[in-house]
Amino acid sequence: MKFNTKVIHGGQHHDPSTGAVMPPVYQTSTYVQTSPGQPLGDYEYSRAANPTRTALENALASIENGTRGLAFSSGLAATDCILRGFKAGDEVIAMDDLYGGTYRMFSRIYKDSGIKFHFVDMTDIAKLKSLINENTKLIWVETPTNPLMKLADIQEISKITKEHKIWLAVDNTFATPYLQKPLDLGADIVMHSATKYLGGHSDVIAGALIVKDEALGEQLHFQQFATGATLGPMDSFLVLRGIKTLSLRVQRHCENGEKVVEYLTKHPKIKTVYYPGLPSHPFHEIAKKQMKGFGGMVSFTFNSGKKEDSIAFLEKLKVFTLAESLGGVESLANHPALMTHASIPADKRAEVGITDDLVRLSVGIEDAEDLIADLEQALA
């Protein structure tokens, strides 16, 4: 199947008991057994597996070209599941420009576990290689990054990880499998905050892991089962419903994103626009190589460099909604330093380039003319 067909039919089957076209919401915790240890069907207890969640997990594996998909209660729960496989003395190399929640987990939750984390600019391949040693177990890549839209060359990094027998995990939340397929480029694990583009309607919190190696999939499933961060059946239904329209939505996000970027790059009050589709973007060629399109996420700064200007702009928006999160059908605006990345220390934010005047937009699927008119009145 091609992608547009996969999001609707990939890994999916009509309900065998009723013929329902959409998988029913199996709102049950347990399943009957005919004899001790002999379940009537394939399910025993919903923390281990639930038919609605299984339908979603099969769809996730299909759209990322993996063999196993796992659905979690959030993107951070999915990330945490990977780290559960490591022990004191192991080392992780991570992108320096990360989602604030990922950085918080790495630097604070696991700070006393004995796992050592290195944060590095993944575009500096020589620096990346210099940090690898016998204790390195994982390289964590986010591309494009949140919020500065930096890119990492997944294929080049995968050559390094395969040479050293290290896992490569890619946060594919911003790009979605419609635009980028990390497993095909050599990654071992793909992570999604399914809250964002996969769900697509700002009505669910969910996470996902997808792998190609079946043994790795079994290991991650055991870690998920043993720690319990699974996705409930109703939330699984909502994400699966969102995936059905992923292609159409992301196409529109990309179209609108490009129009918003064109407007912002010409505005006299705007200093820098961060968008991988711009020829001036330092990693534009990488984006062209590994992405089908450039997405709907845009960040920018002001010529004045003043935090007050960014706050005043955000307070005046009427069509864009000032809120955390991204990837929904509605356009959202965010101040990273005060909102999504506030948990990162100010000196670290400054080090990677998250300034106090930086604004991040999640461009939705409304009429582009209305979005631009809203930006115009807020900047006036």
Residues catalogued as catalytic: 47, 99, 171, 196
For CA atoms 281, 202, 373, 314, the dihedral sign is negative
φ, ψ for residue 193, nearest 5 deg: -80, 100
> Which structure tokens are listed for 84?
């559960």
177 and 64 Cβ atoms separated by less than 8 Å: yes
- What's the rounded Cα separation, in Å, for the pair 64 and 202? 22
Are 38 and 32 spatial neighbours (Cβ–Cβ below 8 Å)?
Answer: no
Nearest 10 degrees: Cα torsion 162, 146, 219, 290: -40
Type of residue at 208 = A
Nearest to 306 by CA among 271, 333, 263: 271
In the three-class reduction of DSSP (H, G, I as helix; E, B as strand; rest coil), residue 217 is classed as helix
* H-helix or E-strand spanning residue 139: strand 136-142
Task: Give rounded-to-5 percent helix, strand, coil for the chain.
Answer: 40, 15, 45
